[in-house]
């Protein structure tokens, strides 16, 4: 059987991968049966997971659209996974065709998949780097070039900061990135939260403790400091469906069930 053009040579199709599991939740096709099996197992604990992941992706889409409409053409997506279902470069270029994107992930499998998918797109680059080694990340030529000439950059940190433990001081990492950004840049954050569904959130946190990528759930008080130095735009730090919904009626009576807090801040 011919290998799909997004699958790197030597890929182990018997081990699940978090980026491919996420793609499955979104309804994408860049995943294997082993990934789907892991997703179904997680859904036994939390049936709403696919809905939450789609709400997460919808927030990313709205945030990128908003920033592109404000004139931003440079996007640094840290913890990008595999840019398959509604990727940043497609969202941004629908508004600003000259948009450039640098995708960053520490997972070599996700990076290899991404490079194959984007090999014919010179305006979308992929970097293998670890957020916890932030100076190394910023030193990469692709990242340095995106920031170098002083144009505003949208720093996308969507569902990545909850993978950074308190011991690794995520606040210091974000401050280091903030200080490297040109004026007028933006920070986009979505973070798994203890608020809204503490019963399910605790179970999900326990599930991830058994994987190589444990999650640190944080509440509003702990997430807000990530925006230090940025000006939070309306509506502030809110549950996923509440951030500038295209249809206010789509928010529903229980937005807290999406268990993620999201916001966008602008750098003066």
Fold category of 18-266 in CATH: Rossmann fold (3.40.50)
**Of the listed ranges 15-19, 37-41, 222-226, the one predicted with least confidence:** 15-19
Cβ pair 263, 252 in contact under 8 A: no
* pLDDT tens readout for residues 39-61: 788 777 767 776 777 888 899 99
Q: With bands split at pLDDT 50, 70 and 90, how would you rate the model's confidence at 2? A: very low
Residue 2 burial by Cβ neighbours in a 10 Å radius (0-12, 13-18, 19+) = exposed
Q: Is the peptide bond between 248 and the residue preceding it cis, with omega within 30 degrees of 0?
A: no
Report the percent of the chain where pLDDT is more than 90.
54
44 is written with which tokens?
């036994």
CA distance 32 to 102: 26
Report the percent of the chain where pLDDT is more than 70.
83
Q: What's the whole-number mean pLDDT along residues 240-256?
A: 77
Instruction: Specify the DSSP element, H or E, that contains 134.
Output: helix 134-139
Q: What's the whole-number mean pLDDT along residues 101-119?
A: 89
**What are the sequence ranges of the domains in the chain?**
18-266
Q: What's the whole-number mean pLDDT along residues 157-185?
A: 96
């Amino acid at each position: 059987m011919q290998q799909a053009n997004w699958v790197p040579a030597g890929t182990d199709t018997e081990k699940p991968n978090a980026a491919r599991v996420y793609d499955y939740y979104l309804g994408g096709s860049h995943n294997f049966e082993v990934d789907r099996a892991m997703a179904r197992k997680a859904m036994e604990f939390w049936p709403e997971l696919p809905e939450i992941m789609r709400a997460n992706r919808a927030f990313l889409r709205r945030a990128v659209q908003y920033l592109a409409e404000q004139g931003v053409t440079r996007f640094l997506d840290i913890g990008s996974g595999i840019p398959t279902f509604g990727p940043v470069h497609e969202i941004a270029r629908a508004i600003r065709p000259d948009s450039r994107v640098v995708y960053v992930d520490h997972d070599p499998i996700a990076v290899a998949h991404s490079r194959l998918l984007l090999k014919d797109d010179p305006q979308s680059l992929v970097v293998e780097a670890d957020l916890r080694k932030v100076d190394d990340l910023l030193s990469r030529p692709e990242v340095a070039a995106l920031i170098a000439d002083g144009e505003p950059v949208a720093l996308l940190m969507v569902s990545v900061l909850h993978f950074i433990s308190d011991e690794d001081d995520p606040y210091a990492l974000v401050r280091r990135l903030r200080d490297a950004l040109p004026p007028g840049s933006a920070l986009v954050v979505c973070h798994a939260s203890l608020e809204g569904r503490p019963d399910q959130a605790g179970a999900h946190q326990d599930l991830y403790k058994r994987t190589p990528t444990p999650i640190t759930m944080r509440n509003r008080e702990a997430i807000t400091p990530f925006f230090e130095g940025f000006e939070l735009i309306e509506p502030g730090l809110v549950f996923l469906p509440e951030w500038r919904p295209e249809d206010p009626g789509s928010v529903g009576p229980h937005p807290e069930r999406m268990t993620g807090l999201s916001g966008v801040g602008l750098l003066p």
